[in-house]
Structure 1
Amino acid sequence: MKKIILTGFIALSLLFSTTSCDNDDDHESVINASELPASASAFVTTYFPGVNYQIIKKQNQADADGSIYDVYLTNGFEIDFDANGNWVDIDGNHQAIPAELIPEKIQTYITVNYPNQFVIAIDNEKTFIEIDLSNNLELIFDTQGNFVRIDH
Structure 2
Amino acid sequence: MKKYFVLAAAALCSVGFASAAAFDDRPVSVEELPDAARKFIRTHFAGSDVLYAKVDDDLFNNDYKVVFADGVSVEFASNGEWKEVGTRRGVVPAAIVPPVIREQVEKQFPGVRIESIDRDRRGFEVGLSNGLDLKFDRQFNLVDIDD
Unaligned runs of 5+ in 2: 1-19
Q: 1:67 to 1:60 in 2, by over 3 A?
A: closer
Moved over 6 A (4+): none
Does the 8 Å contact 2:55/2:62 carry over to 1? no
Aligned to 1:128: 123
SS of equivalent to 2:79: coil
How far, CA to CA, are the matches of 1:81 and 1:71 in structure 2? 8
CA shift at 1:112, angstroms? 0.7
Q: May I ask how many residue pairs the two structures share in their alignment?
A: 129
Supply the AA of the counterpart residue of 1:52: D
Aligned with 1:41 (options 38, 42, 45): 38
CA shift at 1:151, angstroms? 2.0
CA shift at 1:131, angstroms? 0.3
Q: Which one has a bigger Cα radius of gyration?
A: 1
Does the 8 Å contact 1:72/1:78 carry over to 2? yes
Q: 1:24 to 1:35 in 2, by over 3 A?
A: same
Higher share of residues assigned strand: 2
Q: Percent identity?
A: 28
Unaligned runs of 5+ in 1: 1-22
Q: Does residue 1:52 correspond to 2:49, yes or no?
A: yes
Q: Deviations over 1:21-53 (max 9, x none)?
A: xx8996110011110011111111110112121
Aligned to 2:105: 110
CA shift at 1:136, angstroms? 1.1
SS of equivalent to 2:37: helix
Q: TM-score, normalised by structure 2?
A: 0.80
Q: TM-score, normalised by structure 1?
A: 0.78
Does the 8 Å contact 2:23/2:58 carry over to 1? no
Does the 8 Å contact 1:67/1:88 carry over to 2? no
